Amino acid sequence: MGMSNRPVTVDDVAKHAGVSTGTVSRVINNAPHVSGKARAAVERAIDQLGYVPNKTAQSLAGQRRGSVVLAISSDDPGLFANLFFAQVVTGVNAVVEETDLELQLVLAASDRGRARLSRIFRARAADGVMLLALKENDPLSALAESSGVPVVHGGRSLDSEPRYYVDADNRGGAREAVEYLISSGRRRIATITGGQDQHVGVARYLGYREAVVLAGLDDSRVAHADFSEAGGAAAMTSLLDRSPDLDAVFVASDAMAAGALSVLAARGIAVPSDVAVVGFNDIVTAQHTTPALTTVRQPIDALGREMTRMLLRLIDGDTPTSLILPTSLVVRESA
């Protein structure tokens, strides 16, 4: 059992099976043009010798890399980033696992990580790359494009729509959330937005406006924030000062919603009876806020899965179409 020092090679297998290396290779890759007899002999030899193909050699000879990389460039060390990360990886892995590709991870927030990614593109050192949470206008995006390496983006950026991407339906989710508020009788609906320099920030704001305007309601109760809890609190304060009559607020992230809730609580405003609150993301703490937060959930593992499927198709030479994944409203107590 593999006690020998020198690993078993195709030549050993060929010799042992009494065929040529070419035939062994054909069997390994179950290519056509192999007689049943030869195949059986080779398979027996492989078994007896405990042969495992050397992937490096396969790659070199076969002109493919045998690996895809998942690059995550979020430098946000926050809870959401972490969980998001883990779930995406899970989804990606589930699909990669079905192939015989390796999954390489690159955390591209640091300079070293970015350099690494750049090298991968320049050297075509992977069969494909999934790019997650790239900053707006990231130079890596252009490099990726020009390298010829298949690339799938997770999420979009404001400046330019990637050729291939998977994204959550941020606008639709926001719209649905607000429509829910409207259907439950709210009429003076405010919103706290995330950074308007990011696609998700804008998309969720647009979804809010769409719903509010369509219902013929006032869309002027807007406070811009930055996705942070503190920002959410500040925005809620400003909203309350400007429009004390509001009866609902759609908040573009759960973290901001948590900030908003604490301001509401501090002012003695009851949720949801006085003011209904809806968040976005469905982070874990959403269940633990007081009251538990009604929010919009993104299908994060599906995002990972679909990105990977798309990448595989791209590697196969297909031309997939970008995808927008539906969100779902999770109704708890706050609305």
The residues of the shown chain that bind DNA, judged by CB under 7 A, are 6-7, 9-11, 18-26, 28-29, 31-35, 37-38, 51, 53-54, 57-58, 60-63
Number of residues that bind its own copies (CB under 8 A): 49
| 171: partner contacted, choices its own copies, DNA, none (Cβ within 5-8 A by kind) | none
Q: Which of 307, 255, 310, 305 minimizes the C-alpha distance to 277?
A: 255
Give me the residue label for tokens 């400046």: 159
- Spatial distance between the Cα atoms of 4 and 49, rounded to a whole number of angstroms: 11
Any residues with CB less than 8 A from the CB of 217 and at least 6 apart, and which?
182, 187, 188, 189
Please identify which residue in 11, 44, 122, 266 interacts with its own copies, judged by CB under 8 A. 122
Per-position x/- string for 12-51, each x denoting binding to its own copies as judged by CB under 8 A, each - no binding: --------------------------------------x-
Please identify which residue in 40, 86, 213, 230 interacts with its own copies, judged by CB under 8 A. 86
CB of 57 to its own copies, least distance (A): 6
Give me the residue label for tokens 């899970």: 90
CB of 44 to DNA, least distance (A): 14
CB of 282 to DNA, least distance (A): 45
Closer CB to DNA, residue 112 or residue 119?
A: 119
Closer CB to DNA, residue 58 or residue 262?
A: 58
DSSP reduced 3-state for 223: strand
Neighbours of 4 (CB within 10 A): 10
CB of 149 to DNA, least distance (A): 15
Rule CB under 8 A: say whether 332 interacts with its own copies. Answer: no
CB of 145 to its own copies, least distance (A): 12
CB of 136 to its own copies, least distance (A): 23
Q: What is the identity of the amino acid at 145?
A: E
Closer CB to its own copies, residue 150 or residue 172?
A: 150
| 93: partner contacted, choices DNA, its own copies, none (Cβ within 5-8 A by kind) | its own copies
**Whether the Cβ atoms of residue 280 and residue 174 lie closer than 8 Å to each other:** yes
CB of 34 to DNA, least distance (A): 4
Rule CB under 8 A: say whether 146 interacts with its own copies. Answer: yes
Task: Name the region of 227 (left: φ>0; alpha: ψ -120 to 50; beta: rest).
Answer: left
Q: 225 phi and psi, to 5 degrees?
A: -135, -160
**Whether the Cβ atoms of residue 235 and residue 246 lie closer than 8 Å to each other:** no
DSSP 259-275: HHHHHHHHTT--TTTT-
Rule CB under 8 A: say whether 142 interacts with its own copies. Answer: no
CB of 88 to DNA, least distance (A): 31
Tokens of 274: 């006085």
- Spatial distance between the Cα atoms of 74 and 325, rounded to a whole number of angstroms: 21
Tokens of 61: 């000879």
Tell me how far CA of residue 294 lies from CA of 54, 168, 177, 265, 278, in angstroms.
52, 18, 9, 16, 5
Task: List residues binding its own copies (CB under 8 A).
Answer: 1-2, 7, 50, 52-57, 59-60, 65, 67, 70, 77, 79, 81-83, 85-87, 89-90, 93, 97-98, 102-107, 110, 112-113, 116, 119, 122-125, 146-147, 284-285, 288-289
